[in-house]
Structure 1
């Protein structure tokens, strides 16, 4: 199977896994159930993912890839760093507040071993945040921003962009935002970042 075919098939399998997680939760979803729903063999499931945590890690990485791809696309356009950030911010926010991200975060929050949380950090935050940091540092070098006196710039940006919205989504006290709300929040975050880091 060609790499692109395998990637496409993995996304199909993972879409079925998300559907099962939504119905029964991560803990109550078996690899066999995912295989049956996705019409995949057990051999394929274990060869591609290993065990269920491998499936979880692949799902997190696929979410992060959306943001990485948009960052690369903006960087290739050779626009100023804050323009890159403006283009990526709504994509990042939409991903972090998506139903898929919320299902993954709920699974990690309910895992008493902490293993899923570690995978979520490693394949998500620790994969994407350094790329955001690089854009912010470019903005500093070009004089578009000045680093804050108290704390790292990426942490400030993420606070302005996301705040407590993801945890509110995870615990069910906030509905999924609309695209217009996401765009407005991303614009506000960039505006506040400029105001705080002049």
Structure 2
């Protein structure tokens, strides 16, 4: 199968996986149900993903790649570190509270093996955190930020940006945010962060 055809098939399978997950929850989701929804063979799913956990791990990786790419492109560009941080906020928040991220976090909470949670942590904060830290360290070097501990600065920023919003979305206690609400919260987090460390 040509690469573009395989990519299109994978996208269809992954969309079907989200649809089945939303309808049946993680425990009720099976590879067969996803294969039927995607109009793919069960054998194809097992060949490509190994098992249900492998499929959901692939979803997590794809979901996290967007933010990693954004940060890496920022670090490789001539943009100022504060411009990178300001541009990151709305996109990172939108990703973290998106329906897909919420579904994946619910799946991780229902996964008795803990494997999905480990992948979410590894591909999420453990991958993105150091990149945000690199942006902040560059801003510190330029004299735009003052902090002693990079990890603490990253944690402060993420707490201001996300707080308990994602978990409240996961447990159904917070409605979805529209673009205006996301932009407003991200701008507020950025301004508060600068007040504390600029």
Q: Report the TM-score range of the alignment, normalised by the length of the smaller protein.
A: over 0.9
After the TM superposition, which residues 49-198 of structure 1 pair with which residues of structure 2 at under 5 Å, given as runs? Answer: 49-147=49-147, 152-198=152-198
Moved more, 65-74 or 158-167: 65-74
Q: Deviations over 1:40-59 (max 9, x none)?
A: 12222112111111111110
Structure 1 pair 116–153 and aligned structure 2 pair: CA distance change class (3 A)? same
Structure 1 pair 150–67 and aligned structure 2 pair: CA distance change class (3 A)? closer
Question: Could you say which residue in structure 1 is the equivalent of 2:46?
Answer: 46
Q: Deviations over 1:32-85 (max 9, x none)?
A: 111111111222211211111111111011111111232244345410011011
Q: Which whole-Å CA distance do the structure 2 matches of 1:157 and 1:7 have between them? A: 35
Q: Which whole-Å CA distance do the structure 2 matches of 1:2 and 1:183 have between them? A: 39
Q: Which whole-Å CA distance do the structure 2 matches of 1:150 and 1:139 have between them? A: 11
Q: Which whole-Å CA distance do the structure 2 matches of 1:111 and 1:95 have between them? A: 21
Q: Which whole-Å CA distance do the structure 1 matches of 2:130 and 2:178 have between them? A: 27
Asked whether the 8 Å contact 2:72–2:131 carries over to 1, the reply is: no
Structure 1 pair 137–100 and aligned structure 2 pair: CA distance change class (3 A)? same
Q: Which whole-Å CA distance do the structure 2 matches of 1:100 and 1:16 have between them? A: 12
Question: Could you say which residue in structure 2 is the equivalent of 1:29?
Answer: 29
Structure 1 pair 68–166 and aligned structure 2 pair: CA distance change class (3 A)? same
Asked whether the 8 Å contact 1:18–1:100 carries over to 2, the reply is: yes
Q: Which whole-Å CA distance do the structure 2 matches of 1:35 and 1:62 have between them? A: 19
Q: Which whole-Å CA distance do the structure 1 matches of 2:92 and 2:139 have between them? A: 18
Structure 1 pair 130–176 and aligned structure 2 pair: CA distance change class (3 A)? same
Q: Which whole-Å CA distance do the structure 1 matches of 2:8 and 2:146 have between them? A: 42
Q: Which whole-Å CA distance do the structure 1 matches of 2:81 and 2:36 have between them? A: 46
TM-score (norm 1): 0.92
Unaligned runs of 5+ in 2: none
Unaligned runs of 5+ in 1: none
Q: Which whole-Å CA distance do the structure 2 matches of 1:140 and 1:163 have between them? A: 24
